[in-house]
DNA sequence: CTCGCTAGTGAATCCATCA
DNA sequence: TTGATGGATTCACTAGCGA
């Protein structure tokens, strides 16, 4: 009995499939803490005229006599908070969520995220390179959409591939505003009539940046509003596993076909510029043990203002200071912290060389290839 | 009796003055339906935790003022809804409001606006030309702030000077994302010690665009969080009347002096914002995000002596070399530098084509507009 | 005068690991 | 859980100074 309950409440993850049904119900049937990333493109509630689908029918009856905007917002909020709650249950402790929206709904979504315990990491602006103009000239061209990136809770160790994103941006740290074109041309899926298959298909470039930046190969990515499956397609290309949830059969059919025709990039191409933080830690003492530096040898600070002597136990002695290479550097500079590896140099052939070259040498010998 | 009450509850509008006190109380003391536009820069409720240092060990001057501290979201929401209610009472039927904020508060503000009966017209993104970087490499550079523009209610005939904005934007319809620099240099007001007079002074260029776009000369503009009076200064320059409300005496003093020195149609300080045209930088990574190149695809050097593979983060892998298109090109050629755009080619129909054609294509699609 | 160099700074929810 | 420690981490722009 216990066993059966367990199995029923924690079924295997249906990886790389599209599940049919209401996303709240489906999510509640999946095992908790099993998903690394959720990307959600919920209904935008554009008109606020009651055309929303709701989590269950009993709630619909409660408000159908008052179609004023307040009641409509209330219904939308209830829907939002329910799917956000179900989504949060699915997230691993260090998982994260992205939600995209426009001014019609994003403020309500953002407030609901915060109220549900998520911790906002950034809001990111998708700045459309080719938006539709405002034909009537009564407002500004609506040229962007807003994405919110949030961790499951404050203090969680979310995934952020800083160096990879920096590489994508030609060596400059990625900003919170992304310029990307709309989904058009042959990327835009058509139905049998040649009309667009989905009204708000997102460009693959957007998902590429999201997934490269906040997941690793092998991660599980869930999209509760799967639509034509852009999230799944990019996840598959990038070697991530996906789970899609979609109510509408017509969208599911388009997505199934799309995913069947999608191929993963080769493994080597999925490797991404690694952060220095990932490199193994080398104790400074190893330099002495290996004879790269000798006890009594003098080190010079990068700015030439200080020097210190190496001791046999891998500590330094400067003017009235003893301690690690970092501690002595920080003390001499009066700074809160100091990276001793890049701060201290030795003299070789009259030239100053940072001691970090020894660390790089050791790492290379360990078979760790720098990027 | 009735007459006296009327007079007491409807005093004359204190035009072009700065009122001292709590903005909610002060607004409740002003006559209803008397203001054309409200511009509000409320506290963001940043919730900063510890100190933050730049990589050079200098400390970031945090916004840690008492006026930005709130005990909880709930307290912040209550405050927000109260001042929004007081502000709405002051608006003429066709009046409008602008509120600026960051992801810390803007979602709560936006939801409160909608719940209070305002009707959102646009959200507008201030894309900062020179934002502060993310020093620890843990998130995206927080490179924008969000403004919400809303009318008093749905269906109101708000002011929108379409043509004026279009000419401000060199003949192109104004979009919902505005590129403007931070308030720095001489525009940034200093106190007697030479320190910045206010931690979050907004650039005049931002207010210029807001007021040109959504008010007419002679309109009354109210700012309930006046600070150093940017709203008042730009309003005065543009021939609008202003009303400022500010709690802190030190800010009021700075603002009084500033406004005394401000002249109508003093455009000099605004012309700074004129867009400098430069060919937009296109990161190589965009070619992958846009599907022009695929991870795993091979590039060939112009001289046919080398080849390299594209990775998902926009870096290349050649023989024992990884890095940007420029770095790998330089390394393979043994050269100090290399323009990867013209060095690397792909094969199309058996012919070699430099990858620069893709960059040109993207620039053409963007219309070569930096904005 | 210009040019080059150094120093400073901006609404920021900004570390990871081990003892 | 807390505290100590290693050591990773920045972009665009302005002002000011000296040559």
Delimit the domains of chain A by residue range.
17-47+58-270, 284-368
Query: Given an 8 Å threshold on Cβ–Cβ distance, is A121 in contact with B115?
Result: no
Note if the pTM is more than 0.85.
yes
Mapped onto helix, strand or coil, the DSSP state of residue B126 is strand
| Average pLDDT for A200-220 | 98
B107 touches strand C (CB under 7 A): no
**Distance between CA atoms of B299 and B284, rounded to whole angstroms?**
13
- b/e per residue, B215-252, with b = 16+ CB within 10 A? beeebbbbbbbbbbbbbbbbbbbbebbbbbbbebeebb
Nucleotide with minimal C1' distance from the CA of A113 is: C13
* Chain B residues near residue A230 by CB distance under 8 angstroms: none
Query: Given an 8 Å threshold on Cβ–Cβ distance, is A103 in contact with B120?
Result: yes
A129 closest CB neighbour out of B138, B317, B365: B365
**Which two three-digit tokens encode residue B192?**
């007697």
Nucleotide with minimal C1' distance from the CA of A119 is: C13
A186 touches strand D (CB under 7 A): no
**Distance between CA atoms of B227 and B234, rounded to whole angstroms?**
14
How many Å apart are B308 CA and C11 C1'? 44
What is chain B's pLDDT, residue by residue, as a tens digit (371 residues)? 344 444 445 568 999 999 999 999 999 999 999 999 999 999 999 999 999 999 999 999 999 999 999 999 999 999 999 999 999 999 999 999 999 999 999 999 999 999 999 999 999 999 999 999 999 999 999 999 999 999 999 999 999 999 999 988 888 999 999 999 999 999 999 999 899 999 999 999 999 999 999 999 999 999 999 999 999 999 999 999 999 999 999 999 999 999 999 999 765 445 444 444 456 789 999 999 999 999 999 999 999 999 999 999 999 999 899 999 999 999 999 998 899 999 999 998 889 999 999 999 998 887 645 44
Phi first, then psi: give them for residue B179, nearest 5 degrees: -95, 115
Query: Given an 8 Å threshold on Cβ–Cβ distance, is A113 in contact with B124?
Result: no
Chosen from A67, A107, A133, A201 to mutate, greatest number of chain B CBs within 10 A: A107
CB B308 within 8 A of CB B266: no
**Distance between CA atoms of A180 and A74, rounded to whole angstroms?**
33
Query: Given an 8 Å threshold on Cβ–Cβ distance, is B313 in contact with A168?
Result: yes
Q: What is the pLDDT of residue B94?
A: 98
Q: What is the pLDDT of residue B176?
A: 98
Does CATH place domain A17-47+58-270 in 3.30.465.10?
A: no
CB B230 within 8 A of CB B210: no
How many Å apart are B17 CA and D16 C1'? 37
**Distance between CA atoms of B152 and B343, rounded to whole angstroms?**
57
Mean pLDDT of chain A: 90
Q: Is the pLDDT of residue A307 over 50?
A: yes
**pLDDT tens readout for residues A215-238:** 999 999 999 999 999 999 999 999
Nearest to A146 by CA among A128, A169, A168, A166: A128
Q: What is the pLDDT of residue A63?
A: 37
Q: What is the pLDDT of residue A1?
A: 35
Q: What is the pLDDT of residue A11?
A: 66
Q: What is the pLDDT of residue A45?
A: 75
**Which two three-digit tokens encode residue B207?**
């207010």
Nucleotide with minimal C1' distance from the CA of B138 is: C14
Q: What is the pLDDT of residue A371?
A: 43
B48 touches strand C (CB under 7 A): yes
Query: Which secondary structure element, helix H or strand E, spans residue A113, and what is its range?
Result: helix A106-115
B309 closest CB neighbour out of A163, A168, A269: A269
Cα angle at B198 between B196 and B200, to 5 degrees? 110
How many Å apart are B3 CA and D17 C1'? 68
Q: Is the pLDDT of residue A53 over 90?
A: no
Q: Closest Cα of chain B to A153: distance in Å?
A: 15
CB B163 within 8 A of CB B173: no
DSSP class per residue in B63-98: ---GGG--S-HHHHHHHHHHHHHHHHHHEEEEEEEE
B199 DSSP β-pair partners: none
**Distance between CA atoms of A72 and A90, rounded to whole angstroms?**
28
Q: What nucleotides of chain C have any atom within 7 angstroms of a protein Cβ?
A: 8-17
Residue B81 backbone zone (phi > 0: left; psi -120 to 50: alpha; other: beta): alpha
Q: What is the pLDDT of residue A65?
A: 36
Q: What is the pLDDT of residue A47?
A: 54
Q: Closest Cα of chain B to A131: distance in Å?
A: 9
Q: What is the pLDDT of residue A324?
A: 98
How many Å apart are A348 CA and D5 C1'? 30
Q: Are strands B119-128 and B91-101 parallel, antiparallel or unpaired?
A: unpaired
Q: Is the pLDDT of residue A183 over 90?
A: yes
Query: Given an 8 Å threshold on Cβ–Cβ distance, is A173 in contact with B137?
Result: yes
Q: Closest Cα of chain B to A82: distance in Å?
A: 17
| Average pLDDT for A148-177 | 98
Query: Given an 8 Å threshold on Cβ–Cβ distance, is A130 in contact with B288?
Result: no
B132 touches strand D (CB under 7 A): yes
Q: Closest Cα of chain B to A238: distance in Å?
A: 8
B186 touches strand C (CB under 7 A): no
Greatest CA separation for chain A: 87
Query: Given an 8 Å threshold on Cβ–Cβ distance, is A73 in contact with B121?
Result: no
* Chain B residues near residue A73 by CB distance under 8 angstroms: 114-115
Q: What is the pLDDT of residue B141?
A: 98
* Chain B residues near residue A162 by CB distance under 8 angstroms: 137-138
Q: What is the pLDDT of residue A55?
A: 44
Q: Tokens 């106190």 identify what position?
A: B191
Greatest CA separation for chain B: 97
Nucleotide with minimal C1' distance from the CA of B67 is: C11
A92 touches strand D (CB under 7 A): no
Helices and strands per DSSP (H, E), number in chain B: 12, 14
A175 closest CB neighbour out of B53, B143, B324: B143
Q: Closest Cα of chain B to A103: distance in Å?
A: 6
Query: Given an 8 Å threshold on Cβ–Cβ distance, is B162 in contact with A269?
Result: no
Q: Give residue numbers, 16 to 45 of B, with CB < 7 Å from strand C.
A: 41-45
Nucleotide with minimal C1' distance from the CA of A340 is: D7
Q: Is the pLDDT of residue A354 over 80?
A: yes
Query: Given an 8 Å threshold on Cβ–Cβ distance, is A121 in contact with B143?
Result: no
Residue of A nearest to B105 (CA): A111
């Amino acid at each position: 009995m216990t066993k059966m309950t367990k199995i029923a409440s924690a079924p295997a993850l249906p990886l790389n499939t599209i599940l049919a049904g209401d996303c709240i119900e489906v999510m509640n049937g999946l095992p908790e803490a099993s998903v690394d990333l959720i990307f959600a493109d919920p209904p935008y509630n554009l008109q606020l005229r009651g055309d929303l689908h709701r989590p269950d029918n009993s709630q619909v009856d409660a408000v159908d006599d008052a179609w004023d905007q307040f009641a409509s917002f209330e219904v939308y909020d209830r829907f939002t908070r329910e799917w956000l709650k179900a989504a949060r249950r699915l997230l691993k402790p260090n998982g994260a969520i992205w939600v995209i929206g426009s001014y019609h709904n994003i403020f309500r979504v953002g407030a609901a995220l915060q109220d549900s315990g998520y911790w906002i990491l950034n809001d990111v602006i998708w700045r459309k390179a080719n938006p539709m103009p405002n034909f009537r000239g009564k407002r500004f061209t609506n040229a962007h959409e807003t994405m919110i990136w949030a961790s499951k809770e404050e203090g969680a160790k979310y995934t952020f591939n800083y160096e990879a994103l920096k590489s994508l941006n030609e060596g400059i740290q990625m900003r919170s505003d992304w310029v990307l074109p709309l989904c058009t041309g042959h990327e835009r899926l058509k139905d049998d009539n040649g009309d667009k298959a989905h009204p708000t298909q997102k460009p693959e470039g957007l998902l590429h940046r999201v997934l490269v930046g906040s997941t690793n190969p092998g991660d599980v990515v869930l999209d509760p509003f799967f639509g034509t499956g852009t999230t799944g397609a990019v996840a598959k290309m990038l070697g991530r596993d996906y789970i899609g949830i979609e109510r509408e059969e017509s969208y599911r059919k388009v997505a199934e076909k799309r995913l069947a025709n999608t191929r993963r990039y080769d493994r080597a191409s999925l490797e991404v510029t690694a952060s220095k933080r990932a490199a193994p830690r080398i104790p400074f003492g190893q330099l002495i043990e290996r004879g790269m530096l000798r006890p009594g040898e003098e080190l010079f600070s990068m700015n030439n203002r200080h020097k210190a002597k190496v001791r046999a136990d891998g500590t330094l002695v400067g003017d009235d200071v003893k301690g690690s290479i970092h501690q002595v550097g920080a003390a001499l500079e009066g700074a809160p912290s100091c990276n001793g590896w890049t701060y201290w140099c030795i003299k070789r052939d009259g030239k100053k060389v940072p001691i970090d070259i020894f660390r790089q040498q050791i790492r290379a010998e360990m078979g760790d290839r720098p990027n």
